[in-house]
Amino acid sequence: MITTLAFVLVALTVALAVFGLVTTALGHPAGRAHTLVVGGIETLLVVQAVLAVLRVMGGVRPPETETFLIYLAVSVCVLPIGLQFARADETRWGGTVVAVTAIATGVAVLRLLALWGGASG
Amino acid sequence: MAENRGKNTSPERHDLSGTGRETGKGVGRVLVAVYAVFALSASARAGVQLLTKYHEAPLAYVLSAFAGVVYILATVGLAGRRAAYRALAWAAVLVELTGVLVVGTLSVAAPADFPESTVWSGYGAGYGWVPLVLPIFGLLWLRHTGSAAPTNSTRD
């Protein structure tokens, strides 16, 4: 796992959360803009997950490896599901749903960082 | 950022009118999303703990697993549309509120019995107090959507 990429991802999820809340405040439902932003961040999350899995397969063992892998799965899965759920609703609250899933994803990446820090890898 | 759909339909329509009293629509969808996140994190965490180190703190891990199940049931109940789902949501959220108050109090009064924290320890302080606030919002939302129902519901 690349520490820089992880920190960038945490910053991006925070930015996405703010974006979602702003669209709610402006009264816009979740739409194409949300899909594009989520798509970009999701691509980076997948890159991170692939890199991390490759390193774990290469022998790096973070403490609580099972927990690490679960957080890795969560970091990849939550945003697309949340986006789907948000876009299925035509009210302004779709953006807030995206924000909730963005925060959850950011927390998952922070937990990944903490666990990876103990990996001595 | 301008959305065509946003221009054509009033975003508030489903929030305030009596037509869409589903608990999973509008701002209720945010509630469902938060519940889903807690359902996922609580049950995944408890699953790992029960499978890998059950004997270290069985009570805490079983409680975490129980909390995870309650969050799953609340998520399903709030997202569902039929009356049975609403009943499920009521029950799950009430159990959740009881759980966070009882476990929160016990964890503060007898911390020695809770060496490993659960979602509900310290009234959910480790999770930004969300576990304490969430059931309150859940109950308010269920009451709000239930009492505003335009149909001749016998519920409530």
ipTM entry: 0.90
| pLDDT value at residue A31 | 95
- Identify which of B6, B40, B45 has the shortest CB distance to residue A28: B6
Residues in chain A within 8 Å Cβ distance of B11 = 27-29, 90-92
Q: Which of A68, A109, A70 is nearest to A60 (CA)?
A: A68
Supply the pTM of this predicted model.
0.85
- Gap between the Cα atoms of A20 and A98, Å rounded: 6
A121: distance to nearest CA of chain B, Å?
23
To probe the interface with A, which of B19, B41, B134 has the most A CB atoms within 10 Å?
B41
Q: In which band, very low, low, confident or very high, does the pLDDT at B147 lie, cut at 50, 70 and 90?
A: low
pLDDT in tens, A67-94: 899 999 999 999 999 999 999 999 999 9
Q: Which of A4-13, A59-68, A89-98 has the lowest mean pLDDT?
A: A59-68
pLDDT in tens, B30-65: 999 999 999 998 898 888 888 888 888 788 889 889
- Gap between the Cα atoms of B43 and A87, Å rounded: 26
